[in-house]
Amino acid sequence: MSKDTVQDGQVVTMEYTLRVDGEVLDSSDGVGPLQFLAGYDNIVPGLEREMIGMKIGESKDVVVSPADGYGEFDNEAFMEVPRSEFPEDMELEEGIELNVTDEDGKSQYARVEGITAETVNLDFNHPLAGAELHFSVKVTALRDPTEEELDHGHVHEEGHHH
C-alpha cells in the first residue's frame, strides 16, 4: 500500500464536522484538526472504516449508524440511586450531567433523567447513543507514528492530554 492513503497504523490529521439531526455537535473548526492513529479504535469504528483509503486533501461525507457509532440506546442503562448518596449541597436537576464512579473506581458518564424525593434516576447511555452520526471529514495530512505512539496505541500531541 502506498503511504499517501489512510491505512491502519498511520497517524491521520483530519478536519471534521459532526452533525446529528442537522445540528452541528462537534467540529474541528476553531480548535484545529484532529489527529488519530488509524486502526486503534481512537475514533468511532464506522467513521474510521470509511476513511481507510482516503488521500490527503480528499473530503468525504460519512453517515455512521448507531451500532457503528456510540451504540444503540439501551433501555436497561438506567439506575435508581438513593438521593442520600448524593452530597446534600449538590444541586440536582433533570438533564444535568455527572461523572459517577462505579465499584471499580472507573468514572462513568451519567445524565440525571428524573428525580423524586427519595431517588435519582440516572441514564448511563452515551449522549449520542442511538444517534445517526453525519460526519464531514477532510484528510489534511498523513505520517508514520513514532514507536512510542504505536506502543501506546494513540497519538501523542504536544500539549494535549487525554
Q: Which residue has the cell 452541528?
A: 24
CB 126 within 8 A of CB 20: no
Confidence (pTM): 0.80
Query: What is the Cα–Cα distance from 53 to 75, expressed in whole angstroms?
Result: 37
Query: What is the Cα–Cα distance from 68 to 74, expressed in whole angstroms?
Result: 15
Cβ neighbours of residue 3 closer than 8 Å, sequence gap 6 or more: 10, 142, 144
The pLDDT of residue 152 is: 92
pLDDT in tens, 60-76: 999 999 999 999 999 99
The pLDDT of residue 103 is: 80
Which one-letter amino acid corresponds to residue 69? G
Domains of the chain (ranges, CATH numbers): 11-70+129-152 (3.10.50.40), 78-123 (2.40.10.330)
Q: Over 80: is that where the pLDDT of 160 sits?
A: no
Residue 51 is inside which H or E element, if any? Answer: helix 45-51
Q: Which residue has the cell 484528510?
A: 139
As given in the structure block, the three cell numbers for residue 124 are: 448511563
Bridge partners, 55 (sequence order):
5
Query: What is the Cα–Cα distance from 76 to 111, expressed in whole angstroms?
Result: 14
Cα-based torsion angle of the residue sequence 120, 124, 128, 132 in order, rounded to the nearest 10 degrees = -110
pLDDT in tens, 86-112: 888 888 899 999 988 878 888 888 999
pLDDT in tens, 8-56: 999 999 999 999 999 999 999 989 999 999 999 899 999 999 999 999 9
